[in-house]
Amino acid sequence: METLFTFIAKSSGLLVLFYCAYYFLLRKETFFNSNRWFLLAGLITSIVLPFIVYTKTVWVDPTPLLTDNFQNYTSQSVDTTSFTIDWNLILIAVYTIGFLALVIKFAFDFYSLNTVLKGKKVKQQADFKFVDINENIAPFSYFDYIVYNSSLYSASELESILEHEKVHSEQNHTIDVLVSRVFCVLFWFNPIIWLYKKAILQNLEFIADNEAAQKISDKKAYQYTLLKITTHENCVAITNHFYQSLIKKRIIMLNKKQSKKRNSWKFYVVIPALAAFVLLFQVEVIAKEKQQIIKDLSGEIKSVDVYKIKKNATDAELKEIKEKLKSIHNIDFKASEIKRNAENNLTSLKIEIKNGKQQAQSIQTGGNKPIEDFGIVVTTDKDGNKKIGIQTGDETSKDQKTSNTKKITIHQDTNGNINTDKNVKNNHTSNKSTSTSTSTNIVSADAANSYSYNINSNVKNGTVITVSSENAQKSEPLIIVDGIVITSNNSTEDLQKLNIQSMNVFKGPEASKKYGEEGKNGVIVIETKKE
């Protein structure tokens, strides 16, 4: 919906640009044929240019990640319903009513034209088809048909009329009339399009008057014919009819001196404006994360790709993520239960991703409140094995002292089966600084042990880590900070003051091999940032 409104706004703006250029710079010039193509170019540009988008890629630093397995996160809130007016639906309804009314009017005009031509004798002469009728309507042309009532005019007047209509027919002015009419149907709500149509029809009359007057010996007699035709008020709407309002302007343009060629610079005024339009509205900046390289639990190098889903993500963006996950990683992605509020922000979304036996899911719903931004994380080790997860975060301000995080830990047994234990854990944090902090829960699991790490990234103070273990023996891992062993009694207090630069986690046989008996419950090696 937002895309449609954006397109309409851009197209309307371009129509205003071309019309203003014509009205203020070209309207009084005698470049009639050039004006015709200028006006038609404005219509075509207003439709085509909004679809031409240039993409600019900006590479940003990736979200810091410290381990290989990520939590399967489910955030749920109470779904509160309230009555709201869907203005998008109302606007579409109003537009549709106006559109249908003009389509019906368009169809009626074709019917009226068919009624006039039906059963009439057609006289073929060269490329023209002359139709002499008895009705008291203004002479008109429709493609190669020229319709007139010969009984209403003298021989000289009829000659002037036919020469005028031949110009319309030869130069296919009917196409201009129909195109301008179609644009009036599409953009009926924009008053500029009706003025634009009037300018096109008026300029076509200038062209026909100028060409016909050159073929007629008595120029004054032609002008008198123009005045006489004004008495015929009936005409067919979708044709080039001889009678037009503003006869005075037509006569003035007939007697005006030819414009100097140097004034043709006025046609190029719109070029800088179009360039500014493209630079301001048609350049799409795409932010891509640099591929992140981290160490897994065994010290192997792996890459991490993060696909962010924001609260204002469109259906097209979700589809793009699905295609990328499938084509790049062969991972199945499904988005369902999609709901949006009046601001077009997501208020409900269910994400399911699957890679073989690995599965992850995120469900967010909040009535009319937008969901929280999150990311889909795909890690790839040096052997090409991929693991999936959903990375989430809670944003807290200095006035928020507590936050509730629902955590689902992934357990993987020796057979590769994945089980989940849902534990709700309250993390009590206090942020005294004015900067914003983001809390990310990351889970690492093996067959025997399961460690959870709550990583709070503070924009001002760096990274603070709180570590807890959830293994069967309730044993604490060995923590080493800058080569110094931190005891379990003061580990939490010390760790909360650290400014983390990097962290490696060792477990199982590798931890025992490197650190002996003390490392049997796992080892966390932390390096801090140096001043």
pLDDT digits (tens, 9 = 90+) for 485-495: 775 544 455 56
What are the C-alpha distances in Å from 285 to residues 55, 194, 281, 524? 6, 35, 11, 40
Is residue 139 within 8 A of residue 235, CB to CB? The reply is: no
**Which three-class secondary structure state does DSSP give residue 123?**
strand
What string of DSSP letters covers 54-121?
A: EEEEEEEPPPP---S------------------HHHHHHHHHHHHHHHHHHHHHHHHHHHHHHHTT--
pLDDT reported for residue 446? 39
Residue 97 sits at φ, ψ, to 5 deg, of -60, -50
Task: Quickly list H helices, 131-186.
Answer: 155-170, 173-186
Mean per-residue pLDDT, 407-417: 35
Give the Cα separation of 477 and 17 in Å (integer): 69
Q: How confident is the model at residue 364 (pLDDT cuts 50, 70, 90)?
A: confident
Is residue 11 within 8 A of residue 50, CB to CB? The reply is: yes
Residue keyed to tokens 């009639």: 32
**Token duo for residue 155:** 């021989």
Comparing 521 with 102, the larger pLDDT belongs to: 102
Measure the CA dihedral 81/87/93/94, to 10°. 150
pLDDT reported for residue 245? 54
pLDDT reported for residue 177? 96
pLDDT reported for residue 366? 65
Side-chain-side CA neighbours of 505 within 13 Å: the count stands at 24
Give the Cα separation of 353 and 332 in Å (integer): 6
Tens digits of per-residue pLDDT, 149-169?
999 889 989 999 999 999 999
pLDDT reported for residue 407? 33
Tens digits of per-residue pLDDT, 278-322?
999 998 887 776 655 555 444 555 677 888 888 888 888 898 888
- 286-295, 345-354, 414-423: least confidently modelled range: 414-423
Other CB atoms closer than 10 Å to residue 364's CB: what's the count? 24
pLDDT reported for residue 109? 93
Q: Is the pLDDT of residue 78 over 70?
A: no
Q: Is the pLDDT of residue 530 over 90?
A: no
* Mean pLDDT score across all residues of the chain: 76
pLDDT reported for residue 315? 87
Residue 409 sits at φ, ψ, to 5 deg, of -90, 135
Tell me the whole-structure pTM to 2 decimals: 0.57
Side-chain-side CA neighbours of 202 within 13 Å: the count stands at 21
How many Å from the N-terminal Cα to the C-terminal Cα in the chain? 51
Mean per-residue pLDDT, 378-393: 77
What string of DSSP letters covers 430-461?
A: ---SSS-EEEEEEEEE-SS-EEEEEEEEETTT
Mean per-residue pLDDT, 362-366: 73
Comparing 47 with 454, the larger pLDDT belongs to: 47
Tens digits of per-residue pLDDT, 435-450?
333 333 333 333 333 3
